[in-house]
Amino acid sequence: MEDEPLNTPADIVTLEQINSMGQPEFVESLGGIFEHSPWVAEGAYSERPFESVQQLHDTMVETARKADRSQVLALLRAHPDLATRLQVTPLSAAEQQGAGLDRLTPEEFKQLTELNAAYTGKFQFPFILAVRGKNKDDIINAIRERVDRSLQEEWDQALQEIGKITRFRLEDLLAEE
């Protein structure tokens, strides 16, 4: 199942517009791409102009990866638990709805809640998965498999998943020119 884009046409901007923005507008426009972490956009700003959405994304991912470990951990922890009933950002809510996480049975919700708790207890950050194109069974199976990995494996996997999530978000935000 494929999600609909998360932005309306009025929200879509071009790469040319992004490249011509001052830092406050740039950070306002791109600050939510990395969950509750506008510092990533702030760090990428100085690398303008970007030749492509891919170059912009690569720069933002590299900014996140190069940050000190405590800042990366804060980025990982900024992501909500999947299928949480807590307040999440509009982007996260739309992504989770597209994967059917808003339609879990009580048993599925209990299972995912328990798996999330075990995962977070072990790794000290929430389970992160790019859910676009996945269904609730894919997600439950992924967390069940990944909870047994080492901390370094999951740290690396979480950053890869954030890369996928943020790529989708940038593609939704930026119109092809």
Catalytic residues: 79
Phi, psi values for residue 27, rounded to 5°: -65, -40
62-83 burial, b at 16+ Cβ within 10 Å, e below that, comes to ebbeebeeeebeebbebbbbbb
* CB atoms inside a 10 Å sphere around CB 140: 18
- Among 44, 37, 42, CA closest to 75: 37
Asked if 19 and 47 count as a contact pair (C-beta separation under 8 A), the reply is no
- Report in angstroms the alpha-carbon separations of 161 from 71, 116, 129: 17, 16, 5
Cis check for the bond before 9: say yes or no (omega within 30 of 0). no
Distance CA 50, CA 140 (A): 37
